[in-house]
Amino acid sequence: MLICELLLPEFDEEMKKTRTTLERIPFDKKDFAPHPKSMPLGKLAPHVAELAGFGVTVLTTPELDFSTGGGRTRPLFESAALLKAFDENAAKARAALKNTSDDAWTQTWKLSFQGKTIFSGLRFLAYRQMFLNHLVHHRAQLGVYLRLNDKPLPATYGPSADDTMGF
């Protein structure tokens, strides 16, 4: 079995859970942040939607320098735009994952800013740490924002107090 075939079910599950979280965003709370150092909801939710596409970069390029990576446009902070961006980015990342050869996983991948290395290691670690775990981390942040705004939390790795998944 190919490595990508082992990773696709996890990818699909994480994207499904992330989309459900994005569907529950309170769009009347754009400036909400639980702490002065926290990203406002109006920036965090679009970041999650666009982050799904970062997997494409990790899987199809040898490196990225944020300072020369070209400008990216974050989706608008509204439901249709966020979900459209997320769906498109997740589909592109899934296609890249499906087409990643076993040999590619052991190649070096590098992330930097103005030439200063942020990450350098196996593409497999970049995929897990810089992309997938990063996405899950921000999805969890969104979960805190939902809870603090009395919005129902979706089930993720089992039922939540709001979504028992039939339990």
74 within some domain: yes
160 within some domain: no
Cβ-based burial of 5 (10 A; exposed 0-12, middle 13-18, buried ≥19): exposed
The CATH number given to whatever domain includes residue 95 is 1.20.120.450
**Region 80-100: what's the mean pLDDT?**
97
**Region 40-44: what's the mean pLDDT?**
97
**Region 79-106: what's the mean pLDDT?**
97
- Which pLDDT score, from 0 to 100, does residue 66 have? 87
- Which pLDDT score, from 0 to 100, does residue 61 have? 96
166 within some domain: no
What's the mean per-residue pLDDT of the chain? 94
157 within some domain: no
68 within some domain: yes
With bands split at pLDDT 50, 70 and 90, how would you rate the model's confidence at 167? Answer: low
Count of alpha carbons within 13 angstroms of residue 44, beta-carbon side:
29
> pLDDT tens, 134-155?
999 999 999 999 999 999 999 9
Containing domain of residue 132, as a range?
Answer: 3-148
161 within some domain: no
153 within some domain: no
> pLDDT tens, 44-71?
999 999 998 899 999 999 999 988 866 6
- How many domains does the structure of the chain reveal? 1
What pTM, to 2 d.p., does this model score?
Answer: 0.93
Of the candidates 153, 140, 132, 155, the residue with the CA atom closest to the CA atom of residue 55: 132
Q: pLDDT at residue 164 above 80?
A: no
Identify whether the C-beta of residue 108 lies closer than 8 Å to the C-beta of residue 121. Answer: yes
